[in-house]
Chain A
Amino acid sequence: MRTYLIDDESNEIIVDLTRTKIHDYNLVEFDYQTIEDNKQTNKETIWVKKVSGQYFVSTDQKKWAKIPRQDLPSRMINVNTTYNIFRGYKPSGLGGADEGELLTKMPGKIVKIIAEVGQEVKKR
């Protein structure tokens, strides 16, 4: 799953969730990486564990840190920069879609694909 972080000046950071592994009812493992210039960087494995109703994260399963409970926020802050968050899609007007990506006009759900592989389509 790809998440786009786009700041007010349209600078974009792409974060990919590349692997998810559920270990237990309260322990799950995620692999993340950042895409910069089409290269994969900053690969990290993050474990999330729920203890006493609270969420804790770790990179080595020894040192754990508490994190706030939250649903997917519409924006996240890095010190003094606000990033708008787009999970799985990138809204139009914020740059073109790369190969293998789908560019949508707005948050939405694909209900039907009418083009077939190899078919030429024209802009209307």
Chain B
Amino acid sequence: MMIRQPENTSRRVMIANRGEIASRVAKACRELGHTPIGLWTDNEPEATHLQFCDEWVHLEGSTNAETYLNPEKILKVAKENNVDAVHPGYGFLSENADFANLLTQNGIVFIGPNVEAIKVMGDKATSKKLANEAGVPTVPGTDGAVPTVEKAIEISNEIGYPVLLKAVAGGGGRGMRACANEQEVRDNFEAVGRESLAAFNNGDLLVEKLIVNPRHIEVQILADKKGNTFHFFERECSVQRRHQKIIEEAPSPFIGDDEEVRQAICDTAVKLAKAVNYDSAGTVEFIMAEDKSFYFLEMNTRIQVEHPITEEITGMDLIVCMIQAALGDELGIPNQEFITRSGHAIECRICAEDPITMLPAPGLVTGFETNFPQGTRFDNCLYKGLEVTPDFDQVVGKLVCKGIVRDVAVRKMRAALNGLFIEGLKTNIPLLKEILREENFCNGNYSTAYIKEVAPQDRVSTEFNHHRFYTILAGVEARRMGI
């Protein structure tokens, strides 16, 4: 069966974003016969994505607040340029219900889900409530403050140990304590309360089941405005630093061949999407315990950074589908069985950051070359002369490799990383190379605590590499000599 291209009416699609995702959306627009309109700001007159756009429009201003985070200005520019639809990419205004509403009220299509779905899923409490109502499992525990230590013990006994005593107003890992038994709850309750009061001016605590060695597993969803909702299988994104993913893979090595769990988590995601009348591309994120029980975390009502690995294993173009869904076109997907998967895909986020501290390291790209194995995909915004600034996310590219099985994908990724040359910037490439050789990762045996517990960053060699410097200097000399 083939996906039939519906009778196409060319639309003018403005991309309210920059970098690699703007390039990606522009390419999808061109494929569909639409006119991609790219934006450039005062500090990015040579933005990489413009080369893939048919029209370039100046969005005045330099700061994000003046430009990509300014709904009124984007609307004004869209109206001036007779735009039919706006694709927000990810980040910036992609999950801003007010922006989606503003566009809709002005007769411009927001390429994303309906406003109500963004609102419901954008609020953690509301989305958890909706998930519970829809029968989607959430992490067992209390929604509100627990008044006394006795009540905390009663709840802990109910949900089972270990539990987490957590500040209601907490964040960033502060005001949290794991308790393995009743005595530990008793010992820690007051101390965590005091700590929370000092840190957040609120001593209220809640009790939650502690998921030991959790895996971050998410399901790609695609729905249209005609009531069709499909899943595109799962991705595993457990390699994270500061709660931000750096390596993602599909399918999940932790789920592995357990088709029953795979089916259950994918069906659950579809159930949740249907419950919120979802009508675009989105991702339902879960946390999975060691016994493969899973709990709803949140739903991202936009395209995800890591969507390419799903595209690689399913052969479907999610951005194309997202645009089609928003414009009310036929997706051409007759049923769920139409979407199949094959092979294994891995994505490494290439970030302008120190490979050991993993802190952002902006700078100027002085050289950029690739020498990749066959079939490597590199979605990026790099070029020689690019100034990576602290204003934007430090992801400068997404390296994606697919193999018939995971081992082949890992092998290809190692070769691809060896064939990626970015000069002038500190990047996380040395760290990624270390992870791709590390035993636990290679065996697919890792949790969200991987970076903290396995600490591959500590194995990155910082020894001065004379040979590398000689080759760079030799290359420079050769060019100076006109070779």
Contact = CB atoms under 8 A, between A and B. Distances in A.
A76 B471 contact: no
A59 B466 CA distance: 13
Contacts of A86: none
Interface stretch (B59-67, B193-201, B349-357): B349-357
A15 B425 CA distance: 21
Contact of A26 (B425, B464, B468, B483): B483
A80 B462 contact: yes
B460 interface: yes
A82 to B, nearest CB: 7
A77 to B, nearest CB: 5
Contacts of A81: 462, 464
Contacts of B424: 70, 73, 75-77
A26 B362 CA distance: 35
A103 interface: no
B481 A76 contact: no
B477 A78 contact: no
A66 B479 contact: no
Interface residues of A, number: 42
A48 B462 CA distance: 26
B473 A25 contact: no
Contacts of A57: 471, 474-475
A70 B483 contact: no
B483 A66 contact: no
B93 to A, nearest CB: 34
Nearest to B368: A68
Interface of A: 1, 3, 5, 13, 15, 17, 20, 22, 25-28, 30, 32, 34, 42, 44, 46, 48, 50, 54-55, 57, 59, 65-82
Please give me the 4 A-B residue pairs with the lowest Cβ-Cβ distance, nearest first: A68-B367, A70-B367, A73-B366, A68-B369
Interface of B: 354-357, 363-364, 366-369, 371, 384, 419, 421-426, 430, 460-462, 464-481, 483
